[in-house]
């Protein structure tokens, strides 16, 4: 590990690694597809674990844990669009935090693939408003993961096979509740305010409609 990082014993036993990363990537795609993001072009996205030092080289933000980098290009005479996209996620994370960060970045990938104006910064609005809407919507990915993992752990906690399962479920519930609480109470204009406005609207219209509105560049009506 790098000098400025450490992992508690519990997280160490549950960290993401090259040995288990594929199953967690598959799970994130599956959960996003279920919600309606089933048109993510997976073959165009490469996912890589990187150190904190490498993340800082790629993205000049001290506490960055994930980064989506990509561009679109026309690759045949019919004008069909192809994509070259890469997602970087901080290494040695707890597998649930890895899934949440990956889901956020995959929605950024979806935004690029859908050619959404907010993501491509083609909006006539200020860059701040456009970015807040983009990040707020992508934050739904993290919300989906933490909510699903919490619900699964709650079921296990209420009907455990043994005390170890119950303790494990309790830890997962606390972890997910912590992250959901932070997002709900955050005053950050992107990851807090914009996200909560989008989430509130999602609760009214459902997943398929909020995704349709994002695709049609209609989120600016309320964010």
**pLDDT at position 126, please?**
59
The span from the CA of 31 to the CA of 202, in Å, is: 17
Q: How far is CA 26 from the centre of its chain?
A: 14
Could you tell me if residue 217 is inside a domain?
Answer: yes
**pLDDT at position 73, please?**
57
Could you tell me if residue 143 is inside a domain?
Answer: yes
**78-135 pLDDT, tens per residue?**
555 567 889 999 999 999 999 999 999 999 999 988 888 665 555 455 577 888 999 9
**pLDDT at position 59, please?**
84
The span from the CA of 42 to the CA of 83, in Å, is: 10
Could you tell me if residue 92 is inside a domain?
Answer: yes
Looking at per-residue confidence, does 63 or 76 come out higher?
Answer: 63
The span from the CA of 6 to the CA of 92, in Å, is: 9
Looking at per-residue confidence, does 14 or 84 come out higher?
Answer: 14
**pLDDT at position 1, please?**
66
> Could you give the angle at the alpha carbon of 164 between the alpha carbons of 162 and 167, nearest 5°?
115
Could you tell me if residue 2 is inside a domain?
Answer: no
Could you tell me if residue 38 is inside a domain?
Answer: yes
Could you tell me if residue 1 is inside a domain?
Answer: no
pLDDT at 186 > cutoff 60: yes
Contacts of 192 (CB under 8 A, 6+ apart): 183, 185, 186
User: Long-range contacts made by residues 196-204, C-beta under 8 angstroms, separation at least 24?
Assistant: 196/136, 197/136, 197/222, 197/223, 198/133, 198/136, 198/137, 198/139, 198/140, 198/223, 199/140, 199/143, 202/140
Q: How many domains does one find in the chain? A: 1
Looking at per-residue confidence, does 129 or 202 come out higher?
Answer: 202
Could you tell me if residue 3 is inside a domain?
Answer: no
pLDDT at 155 > cutoff 90: yes
**pLDDT at position 71, please?**
65
The domain in which residue 37 lies consists of 9-221
Looking at per-residue confidence, does 75 or 45 come out higher?
Answer: 45
Could you tell me if residue 142 is inside a domain?
Answer: yes
Looking at per-residue confidence, does 146 or 61 come out higher?
Answer: 146
* Nearest Cα to Cα of residue 37 among 145, 180, 182: 145
**136-152 pLDDT, tens per residue?**
999 999 999 999 999 99
Cα torsion for 90, 96, 100, 101, to the nearest 10°?
0
pLDDT at 217 > cutoff 70: yes
Contacts of 52 (CB under 8 A, 6+ apart): 2, 4, 5, 90
**pLDDT at position 123, please?**
47
């Amino acid at each position: 590990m790098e000098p400025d990082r450490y992992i508690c014993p519990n997280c160490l036993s549950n960290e993401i690694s090259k040995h288990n990363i594929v199953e967690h990537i598959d799970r994130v795609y599956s959960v996003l597809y279920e919600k309606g993001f089933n048109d993510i072009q997976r073959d165009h996205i490469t996912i890589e674990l990187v150190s904190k030092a490498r993340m800082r080289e790629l993205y000049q933000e001290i506490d960055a844990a994930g980064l989506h980098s990509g561009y679109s290009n026309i690759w045949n005479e019919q004008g069909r669009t192809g994509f070259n996209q890469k997602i970087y996620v901080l290494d040695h994370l707890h597998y649930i935090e890895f899934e949440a960060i990956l889901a956020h970045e995959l929605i950024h990938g979806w935004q690029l693939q859908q050619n959404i104006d907010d993501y491509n910064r083609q909006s006539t609005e200020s860059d701040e408003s456009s970015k807040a809407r983009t990040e707020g919507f992508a934050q739904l990915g993290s919300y989906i993961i933490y909510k699903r993992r919490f619900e699964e752990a709650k079921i296990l906690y209420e009907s455990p096979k043994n005390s170890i399962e119950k303790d494990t479920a309790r830890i997962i519930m606390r972890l997910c509740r912590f992250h959901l609480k932070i997002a709900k109470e955050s005053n950050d204009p992107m990851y807090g305010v914009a996200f909560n406005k989008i989430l509130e609207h999602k609760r009214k219209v459902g997943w398929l409609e909020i995704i349709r509105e994002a695709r049609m560049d209609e989120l600016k009506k309320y964010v």
